[in-house]
Structure 1
Amino acid sequence: MNGTDFDSENPNCETCNIRTKSILQNATPETIEKINNGKHFNKHSRGNHIFKSGDLASGFYFIKSGFVRNYRSTGGKEQTFNIRGPGDWIGFRDAISSDSFFHSCICLEDVETCFITKELTEILMKEDEKFQSEVLRQMAKEWRESESQVVSLGTKQVHSKLAELLITLKDAAGGSDEIEIKMTREVLASIIGTTTETLVRALTDFKNRNIVHVEKHKVTFQDMAALYSLSEMELDKMVKVHS
């Protein structure tokens, strides 16, 4: 594990505020107790990696607080897969299907995680059918998101992809009308599969049309109806984001 500070504090899974947002929401009390006793609570500083591509995948992480970026470097360029935040897991598929992590995970801000070993995960999936079902449901959801991302990158114009990304970041920040994006323009461009110059032009266009106001790393949302229209998001996603 990279750039990880182990802390003596160990949150209780039974009272954790993100439990209902994670795969533990329907787990049995016995499963919660075993995870509570077997997890490792970690604090990671902004800019540090939680893991890198090729690192040993001996387990996976729940994000308790903060946001991370999952990416892979190819030919000297970084391709961002997604942004994950509180309640999400990271590294799960690699932990149960291979010996090493396929991609890298870096902290966009200070992050708290709970690490669950591969061995404990395999035991719990055999013992707790509800936990197993929730794991499979979450994996299916991520596969659908990955497929949607491929379609989006291949068919949507830059303005549409940028609008969807901004809505997603707004939702991740709790729906606030003003958010701070702790990512460089280069990273944002890599997420939607475009150049930095094209991203900046699209942001400027949004600003000139009074859809959003951008000042350094702060984005203020001014016209959500226009942003939704530009995003071409599926109806179920729009309802989820707006609710």
Structure 2
Amino acid sequence: MNKNILIPFFFVIAVCSAGRVPLSKQNVRKQVFRPFMLVDPLTARSMLNNDFESGTEDPWYDSSPNTVHWVVEDFSAPAANYAPPTPLNGTKYLRATRNEQLNPGLLILRTVVFTALPGDVISFDFWIRSKYTGGNTLDLVLSVGNVESTLLTLTSYSTSVNFEWRRTSTPILDDSFIQPTDVTLIFYAYCGDNVDDAIAIDDIVVESVADVKSSSEDKPAVEQ
């Protein structure tokens, strides 16, 4: 073969190769570094409380698959179509936030794996509203290994006239658990495409039942 032909041929290959990005690098998804995911399960338990005043949901994290996501919102500057009721505490909370087209979708908020102790209780504030009764959903689910069980279902509060934050609580482990157990807590929710549709969570607290009783005893009695 004529050398005068080969030289330009290899030159073209070299230029193209120099500007080519390896396929493996093209397909690498951006990974978000979450330091709290590196802690051991027992330590993780002590980190779960969050009133979102810091502006972050850590160590809870959003794993929603679609266009609706959990976003920390400030009551003084709501990003959604309308402001929620005044929070029970502080000004920030976690809210289901849709895109500009108000596309509906599933939301998932979960913890890292943590060690739940017998007698642990989770408490949190919530607000859920929809144009049609039961139009939006909010469930708290316990995952042990690959087995999920529902701890709370709050869909009945999803009405067009709900303008109130409420506080609720539930034991994390039932009486069948007598030893510390590694678990995950998950909020599953669905937010529709109506302007009225909204879901928000605030002031999540995980504590032992002994702490709950002590806290209630320290409060002054309510006059009848």
TM-score range, shorter chain: 0.3 to 0.5
TM score, norm. by length of structure 2: 0.32
TM score, norm. by length of structure 1: 0.30
Max radius of gyration: which structure?
Answer: 2
Structure with the bigger RCO (C-alpha within 8 Å, sep 6+) is: 2
- Counting strand residues as a fraction of each chain, which structure ranks higher? 2
